[in-house]
Protein backbone atom coordinates (compact mmCIF):
# COMPACT_ATOMS: atom_id res chain seq x y z
CA UNK A 1 0.00 0.00 0.00
CA UNK A 2 1.35 3.44 -0.85
CA UNK A 3 1.57 6.26 1.65
CA UNK A 4 -1.25 8.05 -0.21
CA UNK A 5 -3.59 5.14 0.08
CA UNK A 6 -2.80 4.83 3.76
CA UNK A 7 -3.50 8.48 4.27
CA UNK A 8 -6.81 8.16 2.41
CA UNK A 9 -7.90 5.26 4.56
CA UNK A 10 -6.97 7.04 7.71
CA UNK A 11 -9.04 10.09 6.74
CA UNK A 12 -11.96 7.87 5.85
CA UNK A 13 -11.66 6.14 9.21
CA UNK A 14 -11.57 9.41 11.16
CA UNK A 15 -14.57 10.73 9.25
CA UNK A 16 -16.55 7.55 9.94
CA UNK A 17 -15.60 7.69 13.57
CA UNK A 18 -16.74 11.27 13.84
CA UNK A 19 -20.12 10.80 12.12
CA UNK A 20 -20.86 7.24 12.89
CA UNK A 21 -22.27 5.26 15.78
CA UNK A 22 -20.35 4.31 18.86
CA UNK A 23 -19.64 0.69 19.51
CA UNK A 24 -20.82 1.33 23.04
CA UNK A 25 -23.70 1.75 23.58
CA UNK A 26 -25.18 1.81 20.02
CA UNK A 27 -23.93 -1.44 18.53
CA UNK A 28 -24.03 -3.32 21.81
CA UNK A 29 -27.66 -2.26 22.21
CA UNK A 30 -28.64 -3.71 18.83
CA UNK A 31 -26.76 -6.91 19.58
CA UNK A 32 -28.57 -7.26 22.88
CA UNK A 33 -31.97 -6.94 21.22
CA UNK A 34 -31.19 -9.62 18.67
CA UNK A 35 -29.66 -11.91 21.29
CA UNK A 36 -32.74 -11.51 23.45
CA UNK A 37 -35.06 -12.34 20.53
CA UNK A 38 -33.09 -15.52 19.84
CA UNK A 39 -33.19 -16.40 23.54
CA UNK A 40 -36.99 -16.09 23.53
CA UNK A 41 -37.17 -18.25 20.41
CA UNK A 42 -35.08 -20.95 22.12
CA UNK A 43 -37.21 -20.86 25.27
CA UNK A 44 -40.32 -21.17 23.08
CA UNK A 45 -38.89 -24.11 21.14
CA UNK A 46 -37.85 -25.87 24.34
CA UNK A 47 -41.27 -25.34 25.90
CA UNK A 48 -43.52 -26.12 22.97
CA UNK A 49 -41.53 -28.37 20.66
CA UNK A 50 -38.89 -30.07 22.79
CA UNK A 51 -36.53 -32.87 21.84
CA UNK A 52 -37.57 -36.53 21.86
CA UNK A 53 -35.69 -38.35 24.57
CA UNK A 54 -33.59 -41.39 23.77
CA UNK A 55 -33.84 -44.61 25.75
CA UNK A 56 -32.10 -44.61 29.10
CA UNK A 57 -28.31 -44.93 28.87
CA UNK A 58 -27.26 -48.54 29.04
CA UNK A 59 -23.59 -49.31 29.72
CA UNK A 60 -24.02 -52.95 28.74
CA UNK A 61 -25.48 -52.14 25.35
CA UNK A 62 -22.76 -52.79 22.80
CA UNK A 63 -24.93 -52.03 19.79
CA UNK A 64 -25.51 -48.36 20.54
CA UNK A 65 -23.71 -46.13 18.06
CA UNK A 66 -22.91 -42.79 19.66
CA UNK A 67 -23.06 -39.88 17.24
CA UNK A 68 -22.26 -36.20 17.62
CA UNK A 69 -24.85 -33.58 16.70
CA UNK A 70 -25.06 -32.83 12.98
CA UNK A 71 -22.96 -29.68 13.16
CA UNK A 72 -19.99 -31.68 14.42
CA UNK A 73 -20.44 -34.62 12.08
CA UNK A 74 -17.76 -33.34 9.71
CA UNK A 75 -15.12 -33.54 12.46
CA UNK A 76 -16.31 -37.00 13.33
CA UNK A 77 -16.20 -38.09 9.70
CA UNK A 78 -12.71 -36.65 9.30
CA UNK A 79 -11.47 -39.09 11.95
CA UNK A 80 -12.13 -41.93 9.54
CA UNK A 81 -9.17 -40.68 7.52
CA UNK A 82 -6.84 -40.98 10.52
CA UNK A 83 -7.15 -44.54 11.68
CA UNK A 84 -5.34 -46.11 14.60
CA UNK A 85 -2.44 -44.24 16.10
CA UNK A 86 -2.81 -41.33 13.68
CA UNK A 87 -6.01 -40.39 15.50
CA UNK A 88 -4.39 -37.54 17.41
CA UNK A 89 -3.81 -35.76 14.09
CA UNK A 90 -7.55 -35.67 13.40
CA UNK A 91 -8.75 -35.09 16.94
CA UNK A 92 -6.20 -32.50 18.10
CA UNK A 93 -3.71 -31.14 15.61
CA UNK A 94 -5.98 -30.25 12.68
CA UNK A 95 -8.81 -28.66 14.69
CA UNK A 96 -6.28 -26.76 16.83
CA UNK A 97 -4.45 -25.52 13.74
CA UNK A 98 -7.74 -24.34 12.22
CA UNK A 99 -8.71 -22.42 15.36
CA UNK A 100 -5.25 -20.94 15.66
CA UNK A 101 -5.36 -19.85 12.00
CA UNK A 102 -8.64 -18.03 12.65
CA UNK A 103 -7.19 -16.31 15.72
CA UNK A 104 -4.11 -15.18 13.83
CA UNK A 105 -6.04 -14.14 10.72
CA UNK A 106 -5.77 -10.37 11.40
CA UNK A 107 -2.00 -10.73 11.56
CA UNK A 108 -1.36 -12.50 8.30
CA UNK A 109 -4.24 -11.19 6.20
CA UNK A 110 -3.33 -7.52 5.99
CA UNK A 111 -5.20 -6.83 2.75
CA UNK A 112 -7.32 -3.71 3.36
CA UNK A 113 -9.58 -4.24 0.35
CA UNK A 114 -13.13 -5.44 1.02
CA UNK A 115 -14.49 -6.03 -2.47
CA UNK A 116 -14.62 -9.74 -3.30
CA UNK A 117 -12.82 -9.22 -6.58
CA UNK A 118 -9.77 -8.13 -4.66
CA UNK A 119 -9.96 -11.02 -2.18
CA UNK A 120 -10.06 -13.96 -4.52
CA UNK A 121 -7.44 -16.01 -2.69
CA UNK A 122 -8.96 -15.64 0.78
CA UNK A 123 -12.50 -16.27 -0.44
CA UNK A 124 -11.45 -19.18 -2.62
CA UNK A 125 -9.58 -20.79 0.24
CA UNK A 126 -12.46 -20.37 2.68
CA UNK A 127 -14.87 -21.65 0.02
CA UNK A 128 -12.87 -24.85 -0.30
CA UNK A 129 -12.86 -25.31 3.48
CA UNK A 130 -16.64 -24.84 3.69
CA UNK A 131 -17.25 -27.19 0.76
CA UNK A 132 -15.05 -29.76 2.47
CA UNK A 133 -17.07 -29.46 5.67
CA UNK A 134 -20.35 -29.85 3.79
CA UNK A 135 -19.02 -32.84 1.87
CA UNK A 136 -17.82 -34.54 5.07
CA UNK A 137 -21.18 -33.89 6.77
CA UNK A 138 -23.07 -35.38 3.82
CA UNK A 139 -20.73 -38.36 3.71
CA UNK A 140 -21.24 -38.95 7.43
CA UNK A 141 -25.02 -38.72 7.11
CA UNK A 142 -25.11 -41.13 4.18
CA UNK A 143 -22.89 -43.76 5.79
CA UNK A 144 -24.50 -43.66 9.24
CA UNK A 145 -26.46 -46.84 9.86
CA UNK A 146 -30.04 -46.26 10.88
CA UNK A 147 -30.23 -46.48 14.65
CA UNK A 148 -32.59 -49.24 15.67
CA UNK A 149 -35.76 -47.63 16.85
CA UNK A 150 -36.57 -48.19 20.50
CA UNK A 151 -39.72 -47.32 22.30
CA UNK A 152 -39.45 -44.82 25.09
CA UNK A 153 -42.27 -45.27 27.57
CA UNK A 154 -42.73 -43.00 30.55
CA UNK A 155 -46.12 -43.66 32.13
CA UNK A 156 -47.06 -47.02 33.63
CA UNK A 157 -49.65 -47.46 30.88
CA UNK A 158 -47.07 -46.89 28.18
CA UNK A 159 -44.62 -49.26 29.88
CA UNK A 160 -47.23 -51.99 30.14
CA UNK A 161 -48.23 -51.56 26.52
CA UNK A 162 -44.59 -51.58 25.37
CA UNK A 163 -43.89 -54.57 27.62
CA UNK A 164 -46.92 -56.40 26.23
CA UNK A 165 -45.69 -55.88 22.68
CA UNK A 166 -42.19 -57.06 23.54
CA UNK A 167 -43.50 -60.03 25.50
CA UNK A 168 -45.69 -61.05 22.53
CA UNK A 169 -42.76 -61.04 20.20
CA UNK A 170 -40.04 -62.44 22.47
CA UNK A 171 -41.60 -64.71 25.04
CA UNK A 172 -44.96 -66.12 23.87
CA UNK A 173 -43.58 -68.98 21.82
CA UNK A 174 -42.17 -70.59 24.96
CA UNK A 175 -44.24 -69.18 27.82
CA UNK A 176 -47.65 -68.80 26.15
CA UNK A 177 -49.67 -65.61 25.68
CA UNK A 178 -50.58 -65.40 29.36
CA UNK A 179 -47.43 -66.89 30.86
CA UNK A 180 -49.33 -70.15 31.30
CA UNK A 181 -46.49 -72.28 29.94
CA UNK A 182 -47.27 -75.78 28.73
CA UNK A 183 -45.83 -77.95 26.01
CA UNK A 184 -43.64 -76.00 23.61
CA UNK A 185 -44.24 -76.50 19.93
CA UNK A 186 -42.34 -75.01 17.03
CA UNK A 187 -39.26 -73.89 18.98
CA UNK A 188 -36.02 -75.45 17.93
CA UNK A 189 -34.34 -77.39 20.74
CA UNK A 190 -37.36 -77.27 23.07
CA UNK A 191 -39.89 -79.13 20.96
CA UNK A 192 -42.25 -81.02 23.27
CA UNK A 193 -40.64 -79.71 26.46
CA UNK A 194 -43.11 -78.68 29.19
CA UNK A 195 -42.47 -75.24 30.63
CA UNK A 196 -43.90 -74.33 34.04
CA UNK A 197 -46.38 -71.49 34.30
CA UNK A 198 -44.77 -68.17 35.19
CA UNK A 199 -47.96 -66.19 35.81
CA UNK A 200 -48.80 -67.92 39.10
CA UNK A 201 -48.73 -66.56 42.63
CA UNK A 202 -45.90 -69.00 43.31
CA UNK A 203 -43.81 -67.22 40.74
CA UNK A 204 -45.02 -63.65 41.22
CA UNK A 205 -44.91 -63.65 45.03
CA UNK A 206 -41.42 -65.11 45.26
CA UNK A 207 -39.64 -63.13 42.52
CA UNK A 208 -39.19 -59.39 42.89
CA UNK A 209 -38.74 -57.09 39.91
CA UNK A 210 -34.95 -57.24 40.08
CA UNK A 211 -35.00 -61.03 40.00
CA UNK A 212 -37.36 -61.05 37.02
CA UNK A 213 -35.18 -58.46 35.34
CA UNK A 214 -32.09 -60.63 35.81
CA UNK A 215 -33.85 -63.77 34.59
CA UNK A 216 -34.74 -62.03 31.34
CA UNK A 217 -31.34 -60.33 31.11
CA UNK A 218 -29.15 -63.48 31.52
CA UNK A 219 -31.78 -66.06 30.70
CA UNK A 220 -31.58 -69.48 32.29
CA UNK A 221 -29.31 -71.14 29.79
CA UNK A 222 -29.08 -74.43 31.65
CA UNK A 223 -32.90 -74.75 31.55
CA UNK A 224 -33.28 -73.67 27.93
CA UNK A 225 -34.11 -69.99 28.29
CA UNK A 226 -31.78 -67.83 26.20
CA UNK A 227 -30.38 -64.49 27.50
CA UNK A 228 -32.26 -61.44 26.18
CA UNK A 229 -30.10 -58.57 27.48
CA UNK A 230 -27.91 -56.86 24.91
CA UNK A 231 -24.99 -57.29 27.28
CA UNK A 232 -25.37 -61.06 26.96
CA UNK A 233 -25.96 -61.27 23.23
CA UNK A 234 -29.73 -60.77 23.22
CA UNK A 235 -31.66 -57.99 21.51
CA UNK A 236 -33.38 -56.22 24.43
CA UNK A 237 -32.16 -52.97 25.96
CA UNK A 238 -32.41 -52.38 29.70
CA UNK A 239 -35.53 -50.28 29.24
CA UNK A 240 -37.09 -53.00 27.07
CA UNK A 241 -36.59 -55.51 29.87
CA UNK A 242 -37.94 -53.07 32.43
CA UNK A 243 -41.13 -52.73 30.33
CA UNK A 244 -41.55 -56.50 30.13
CA UNK A 245 -41.15 -56.83 33.89
CA UNK A 246 -43.70 -54.03 34.42
CA UNK A 247 -46.08 -55.82 32.08
CA UNK A 248 -45.67 -59.14 33.91
CA UNK A 249 -46.03 -57.56 37.34
CA UNK A 250 -49.22 -55.69 36.56
CA UNK A 251 -50.76 -58.47 34.50
CA UNK A 252 -50.06 -61.46 36.72
CA UNK A 253 -49.45 -60.30 40.28
CA UNK A 254 -52.83 -59.88 41.94
CA UNK A 255 -51.23 -57.68 44.62
CA UNK A 256 -50.14 -55.07 42.09
CA UNK A 257 -52.68 -52.25 41.97
CA UNK A 258 -52.91 -50.95 38.43
CA UNK A 259 -53.05 -47.15 38.29
CA UNK A 260 -56.46 -46.25 36.86
CA UNK A 261 -55.18 -44.54 33.73
CA UNK A 262 -53.28 -47.73 32.90
CA UNK A 263 -56.25 -50.03 33.27
CA UNK A 264 -57.22 -50.21 29.60
CA UNK A 265 -53.70 -50.19 28.28
CA UNK A 266 -53.22 -53.95 28.43
CA UNK A 267 -56.82 -55.04 27.94
CA UNK A 268 -58.47 -56.12 24.71
CA UNK A 269 -61.33 -53.65 24.24
CA UNK A 270 -64.79 -55.07 24.94
CA UNK A 271 -67.34 -54.94 22.16
CA UNK A 272 -70.93 -53.75 22.54
CA UNK A 273 -73.67 -56.10 21.23
CA UNK A 274 -74.29 -54.04 18.08
CA UNK A 275 -70.82 -52.70 17.63
CA UNK A 276 -68.84 -53.69 14.56
CA UNK A 277 -65.31 -54.82 15.42
CA UNK A 278 -62.49 -53.21 13.49
CA UNK A 279 -58.95 -54.34 12.87
CA UNK A 280 -57.33 -51.31 14.47
CA UNK A 281 -59.31 -51.40 17.70
CA UNK A 282 -60.09 -55.05 18.34
CA UNK A 283 -58.24 -57.42 16.09
CA UNK A 284 -54.78 -55.86 16.17
CA UNK A 285 -54.41 -56.24 19.99
CA UNK A 286 -55.57 -59.87 19.78
CA UNK A 287 -53.22 -60.65 16.93
CA UNK A 288 -50.36 -58.94 18.73
CA UNK A 289 -50.93 -60.94 21.85
CA UNK A 290 -51.69 -64.36 20.39
CA UNK A 291 -50.27 -64.61 16.88
CA UNK A 292 -47.39 -62.23 16.18
CA UNK A 293 -44.83 -64.20 18.18
CA UNK A 294 -44.83 -66.72 15.33
CA UNK A 295 -46.41 -64.72 12.51
CA UNK A 296 -43.61 -62.28 11.91
CA UNK A 297 -40.65 -62.46 9.58
CA UNK A 298 -37.95 -64.96 10.40
CA UNK A 299 -40.33 -67.55 11.90
CA UNK A 300 -41.90 -70.64 10.47
CA UNK A 301 -45.47 -69.62 9.55
CA UNK A 302 -46.17 -70.40 5.87
CA UNK A 303 -45.14 -66.79 5.11
CA UNK A 304 -48.27 -65.55 6.80
CA UNK A 305 -47.16 -62.34 8.51
CA UNK A 306 -49.53 -60.59 10.88
CA UNK A 307 -47.88 -57.30 11.78
CA UNK A 308 -50.13 -55.02 9.71
CA UNK A 309 -53.66 -54.98 8.33
CA UNK A 310 -52.37 -55.42 4.83
CA UNK A 311 -50.32 -58.49 5.76
CA UNK A 312 -53.12 -60.05 7.77
CA UNK A 313 -55.41 -59.74 4.76
CA UNK A 314 -52.95 -60.50 1.98
CA UNK A 315 -50.10 -62.81 2.85
CA UNK A 316 -49.43 -66.48 3.42
CA UNK A 317 -48.84 -69.50 1.22
CA UNK A 318 -52.60 -70.19 1.34
CA UNK A 319 -53.65 -66.61 0.79
CA UNK A 320 -56.32 -65.40 1.22
CA UNK A 321 -56.57 -66.65 4.78
CA UNK A 322 -59.37 -64.18 5.38
CA UNK A 323 -62.25 -63.79 2.94
CA UNK A 324 -64.41 -60.90 4.14
CA UNK A 325 -67.87 -62.18 5.01
CA UNK A 326 -66.88 -65.85 4.85
CA UNK A 327 -66.77 -67.78 8.13
CA UNK A 328 -65.13 -70.66 6.29
CA UNK A 329 -61.97 -68.60 5.93
CA UNK A 330 -58.79 -70.53 6.76
CA UNK A 331 -58.14 -68.38 9.78
CA UNK A 332 -61.51 -69.09 11.40
CA UNK A 333 -61.33 -72.81 10.71
CA UNK A 334 -57.87 -72.95 12.23
CA UNK A 335 -59.02 -71.02 15.30
CA UNK A 336 -61.68 -73.73 15.67
CA UNK A 337 -58.78 -76.16 15.71
CA UNK A 338 -59.55 -77.84 12.42
CA UNK A 339 -56.72 -79.47 10.49
CA UNK A 340 -56.85 -78.04 6.98
CA UNK A 341 -54.52 -77.75 4.05
CA UNK A 342 -53.07 -74.47 5.31
CA UNK A 343 -52.04 -76.06 8.60
CA UNK A 344 -53.14 -77.23 11.99
CA UNK A 345 -54.99 -75.57 14.86
CA UNK A 346 -54.03 -71.95 15.63
CA UNK A 347 -52.54 -70.96 17.96
CA UNK A 348 -50.90 -74.38 17.96
CA UNK A 349 -50.61 -74.85 21.73
CA UNK A 350 -53.91 -73.72 23.18
CA UNK A 351 -57.27 -72.58 21.81
CA UNK A 352 -58.17 -68.90 22.05
CA UNK A 353 -60.91 -68.05 24.53
CA UNK A 354 -64.35 -68.45 22.89
CA UNK A 355 -65.07 -64.72 23.18
CA UNK A 356 -61.90 -63.94 21.23
CA UNK A 357 -62.79 -66.41 18.51
CA UNK A 358 -66.21 -64.76 18.35
CA UNK A 359 -64.53 -61.40 17.97
CA UNK A 360 -62.66 -62.69 14.92
CA UNK A 361 -65.91 -64.14 13.54
CA UNK A 362 -67.94 -60.98 13.99
CA UNK A 363 -65.16 -58.98 12.42
CA UNK A 364 -64.89 -61.20 9.34
CA UNK A 365 -68.68 -61.36 9.02
CA UNK A 366 -68.79 -57.56 9.02
CA UNK A 367 -66.40 -57.52 6.04
CA UNK A 368 -63.11 -57.40 8.01
CA UNK A 369 -62.87 -53.59 8.08
CA UNK A 370 -59.65 -51.92 9.09
CA UNK A 371 -61.44 -49.10 10.90
CA UNK A 372 -65.05 -48.39 11.59
CA UNK A 373 -66.15 -44.81 11.37
CA UNK A 374 -69.47 -43.85 12.72
C1 LIG B 1 -36.79 -70.40 23.81
C2 LIG B 1 -37.78 -70.50 24.86
C3 LIG B 1 -37.92 -69.34 25.84
C4 LIG B 1 -38.13 -68.02 25.56
C5 LIG B 1 -38.24 -67.39 24.18
C6 LIG B 1 -38.28 -67.36 26.83
N7 LIG B 1 -38.14 -68.24 27.84
FE8 LIG B 1 -38.36 -67.83 29.83
N9 LIG B 1 -37.94 -69.77 30.25
C10 LIG B 1 -37.71 -70.77 29.34
C11 LIG B 1 -37.44 -72.01 30.04
C12 LIG B 1 -37.16 -73.33 29.37
C13 LIG B 1 -37.50 -71.70 31.42
C14 LIG B 1 -37.35 -72.66 32.57
C15 LIG B 1 -38.77 -72.99 32.95
C16 LIG B 1 -38.97 -74.27 33.66
O17 LIG B 1 -38.13 -74.59 34.50
O18 LIG B 1 -40.01 -74.92 33.39
C19 LIG B 1 -37.84 -70.29 31.52
C20 LIG B 1 -38.05 -69.62 32.71
C21 LIG B 1 -38.54 -68.33 32.82
C22 LIG B 1 -38.95 -67.70 34.05
C23 LIG B 1 -39.01 -68.34 35.41
C24 LIG B 1 -37.66 -68.43 36.01
C25 LIG B 1 -37.78 -68.81 37.46
O26 LIG B 1 -37.10 -69.76 37.84
O27 LIG B 1 -38.51 -68.15 38.16
C28 LIG B 1 -39.34 -66.43 33.73
C29 LIG B 1 -39.86 -65.36 34.69
C30 LIG B 1 -39.16 -66.26 32.31
N31 LIG B 1 -38.68 -67.44 31.79
C32 LIG B 1 -39.49 -65.12 31.61
C33 LIG B 1 -39.32 -64.99 30.25
C34 LIG B 1 -39.57 -63.78 29.54
C35 LIG B 1 -40.08 -62.50 30.15
C36 LIG B 1 -39.29 -64.02 28.24
C37 LIG B 1 -39.34 -63.06 27.08
C38 LIG B 1 -38.42 -61.95 27.16
C39 LIG B 1 -38.87 -65.40 28.13
N40 LIG B 1 -38.88 -65.95 29.37
C41 LIG B 1 -38.54 -66.02 26.94
C42 LIG B 1 -37.72 -70.64 27.96
C43 LIG B 1 -37.92 -69.47 27.28
C1 LIG C 1 -46.43 -71.05 18.08
C2 LIG C 1 -46.43 -70.42 16.79
C3 LIG C 1 -47.75 -69.93 16.19
C4 LIG C 1 -48.70 -69.13 16.78
C5 LIG C 1 -48.72 -68.55 18.17
C6 LIG C 1 -49.71 -68.93 15.76
N7 LIG C 1 -49.37 -69.57 14.59
FE8 LIG C 1 -50.43 -69.60 12.88
N9 LIG C 1 -49.01 -70.77 12.00
C10 LIG C 1 -47.90 -71.26 12.65
C11 LIG C 1 -47.20 -72.17 11.75
C12 LIG C 1 -45.92 -72.91 12.07
C13 LIG C 1 -47.94 -72.21 10.54
C14 LIG C 1 -47.66 -73.04 9.31
C15 LIG C 1 -48.68 -74.16 9.18
C16 LIG C 1 -48.49 -75.23 10.22
O17 LIG C 1 -47.37 -75.63 10.47
O18 LIG C 1 -49.52 -75.66 10.82
C19 LIG C 1 -49.08 -71.31 10.74
C20 LIG C 1 -50.04 -71.08 9.77
C21 LIG C 1 -51.12 -70.26 9.95
C22 LIG C 1 -52.09 -69.95 8.94
C23 LIG C 1 -52.07 -70.42 7.49
C24 LIG C 1 -51.19 -69.50 6.68
C25 LIG C 1 -51.04 -69.93 5.23
O26 LIG C 1 -51.21 -69.07 4.37
O27 LIG C 1 -50.71 -71.11 5.01
C28 LIG C 1 -53.04 -69.14 9.51
C29 LIG C 1 -54.26 -68.55 8.85
C30 LIG C 1 -52.64 -68.92 10.88
N31 LIG C 1 -51.47 -69.60 11.13
C32 LIG C 1 -53.35 -68.14 11.79
C33 LIG C 1 -52.93 -67.90 13.08
C34 LIG C 1 -53.63 -67.03 14.00
C35 LIG C 1 -54.91 -66.29 13.68
C36 LIG C 1 -52.94 -67.04 15.15
C37 LIG C 1 -53.26 -66.28 16.43
C38 LIG C 1 -54.57 -66.43 16.96
C39 LIG C 1 -51.78 -67.90 14.98
N40 LIG C 1 -51.80 -68.40 13.71
C41 LIG C 1 -50.84 -68.14 15.95
C42 LIG C 1 -47.46 -70.97 13.92
C43 LIG C 1 -48.16 -70.20 14.82
Give the Cα separation of 244 and 253 in Å (integer): 13
Q: Is the CB of 216 under 6 A from ligand 1?
A: yes
Whole-number average pLDDT of the chain:
87
Q: 364 with 332: CB under 8 angstroms?
A: yes
Position 38 pLDDT exceeds 90: yes
Q: Is the CB of 348 under 6 A from ligand 2?
A: yes
CA angle 264, 265, 271 (to 5 degrees): 45
Q: 371 with 278: CB under 8 angstroms?
A: yes
What's the confidence (pLDDT) of residue 268? 73
For 189-223, what is each residue's pLDDT tens digit?
Answer: 888 889 999 999 899 999 999 999 999 999 998 99
For 252-284, what is each residue's pLDDT tens digit?
Answer: 888 877 776 666 655 677 788 888 899 988 898
- Cα–Cα nearest to 242, from 189, 320, 163: 163
Q: CA dist 51 to 36, 46, 175, Å?
A: 22, 8, 38
- Cα–Cα nearest to 293, from 199, 159, 155, 185: 185
Q: Is the CB of 292 under 6 A from ligand 2?
A: no
Give the Cα separation of 220 and 218 in Å (integer): 7
Q: Is the CB of 180 under 6 A from ligand 1?
A: no
For 80-111, what is each residue's pLDDT tens digit?
Answer: 888 888 889 988 999 999 999 999 988 988 88
What's the confidence (pLDDT) of residue 143? 83
Local confidence band at 292 (pLDDT 50, 70, 90 cut-offs): confident
Q: Which comes out higher in pLDDT, residue 210 or 286?
A: 210
Give the Cα separation of 256 and 156 in Å (integer): 12
User: 76 CA distance to ligand 1 centroid (A)?
Assistant: 42
User: 216 CA distance to ligand 1 centroid (A)?
Assistant: 7
Residues whose CB falls within 8 Å of the CB of residue 352, separated by 6 or more in sequence, listed in order: 286, 290, 335, 360
Q: Is the CB of 286 under 6 A from ligand 1?
A: no
Q: Is the CB of 197 under 6 A from ligand 1?
A: no
Phi/psi for 128 (5° steps) reads -65, -40
Closest ligand 2 atom to Cα of 315: 26
Amino acid sequence: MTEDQKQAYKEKYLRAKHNGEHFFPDTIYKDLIVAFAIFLLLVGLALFVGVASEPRADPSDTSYVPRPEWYFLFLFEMLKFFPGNLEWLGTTIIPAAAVLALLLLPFFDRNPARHWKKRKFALGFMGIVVLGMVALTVRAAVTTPVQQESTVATTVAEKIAAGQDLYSVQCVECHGAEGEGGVVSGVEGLEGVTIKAIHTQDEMYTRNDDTLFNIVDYGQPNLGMPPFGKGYGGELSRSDIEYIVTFMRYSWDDRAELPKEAAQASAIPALGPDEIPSYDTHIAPLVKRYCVSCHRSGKENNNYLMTSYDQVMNSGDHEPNIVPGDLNSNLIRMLHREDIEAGGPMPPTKALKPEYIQLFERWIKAGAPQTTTK
